[in-house]
Amino acid sequence: MKLAITGPTSGIGAVAFSQLAPHFNEIFLIARNASKAKKQIETLSTQDQKKVTFIYCDLTDMESVVLAAKSIGEKTSSLDVLINNAGGIFQNKEITKDGFEMGLAANHLGHFLLTHHLMTLLLASPRPKVINVSSEAHRAAKVDFDDLNYANKKFSSFVSYANVKLFNILFTKSLADKFGDAGLQAYALHPGVVKTNFGKETSGFFGFLWKLSAPFMITAEEGAKTTIYLAKSKIDSLKNGYYFKKSKPLKPSSEANSKKMRDRLWQESEKMLAKWL
């Protein structure tokens, strides 16, 4: 069994990576920081360390995403589980060198492109899975498909985050729609409100609320449980495309279930990423 995971250098992803390592024969640790990646690999047993390959990837740099997928393709001909876990909330509007709003690129576009370029490997596995780490924040989304990069409106850090976490669920459902018949299973999840590096740099009202909730947050070990459950368990095929919380299916917002929205997101994502597809 072969696993690839983004964001394994901190928080929920680091715990999922460590705990899943013994259950896989080959692991692709996809990260943007080589020294953090090395330290993370060294936390494993000597035997498990041998299974891991570090793949450099900055999800906000689309060229690097393409190269990361290519590099995985040079090392394996199939992939059983892809965990799209990396992400975060950005305090200020920042535009990547490719012209995308940073939160959109880090949480959605990078993963859309990575999954696209890994699809042949995934479909070469007998029961491939893609797991997308979303959030209950998706319920606060206010999507404007005509201006996904905030060119013509005021930037809101929280709304941008809520939107991309909705995109994680819409993307999951599109994957189930488009590749379910070919055997692909896709799941999205909310990990809980977890004490990690997430949100540490946010200020404003969201930052205030985040700091206020710190004493009630769960540990990264708790927060990684649903990801680990989805990666390891055999899930009923009728639940393909579902959103999970506490290792159980949960009804997401009505927007998250909208076919019109997921089709539009797919279309806009392809349009924005045309150069790298």
Query: What residues line the site for ligand NAP (CB under 6 A)?
Result: 6-7, 9-13, 31-33, 36, 57-60, 85-88, 106, 133, 135, 190-191, 193-194, 196-198
Complex with ligand NAP: residue 175 or 194, whichever CB lies closer: 194
CA distances from 55 to 8, 73, 122, 219 (A): 11, 11, 17, 27
In the complex, the smallest distance separating the C-beta of residue 130 from ligand NAP, rounded to whole angstroms, is: 14
Which residue number, 125 or 134, has a Cβ lying nearer to ligand NAP?
A: 134
Helix axes 204-213, 157-179, angle to 10 degrees: 80
Q: Which of 150, 161, 229, 242 is catalytic?
A: 161
Give yes or no: 161 in active site: yes
Q: Which CB atom, from 33 or from 120, has the smaller least distance to ligand NAP?
A: 33
* CA-wise closest residue to 156 among 93, 250, 99, 104: 93
Shortest distance (Å) from residue 28 CB to ligand NAP: 13
47, 40 contact by CB (below 8 A): no
Q: Which residue is nearest to ligand NAP (CB)?
A: 11
Q: Which is nearer to ligand NAP, 26 or 98 (CB)?
A: 98
From the CB of residue 251, how many other CB atoms can be counted at a distance below 10 Å?
A: 9
Task: Identify which of residues 84 and 174 has a Cβ nearer to ligand NAP in the complex.
Answer: 84
Q: Which amino acid is at 115?
A: T
Write down the least CB distance from residue 23 to ligand NAP, Å: 20
Cβ of residue 50: shortest distance to ligand NAP, in angstroms?
Answer: 22
Find the shortest distance in angstroms from Cβ 126 to ligand NAP. 28
Residues marked active site are found at 161
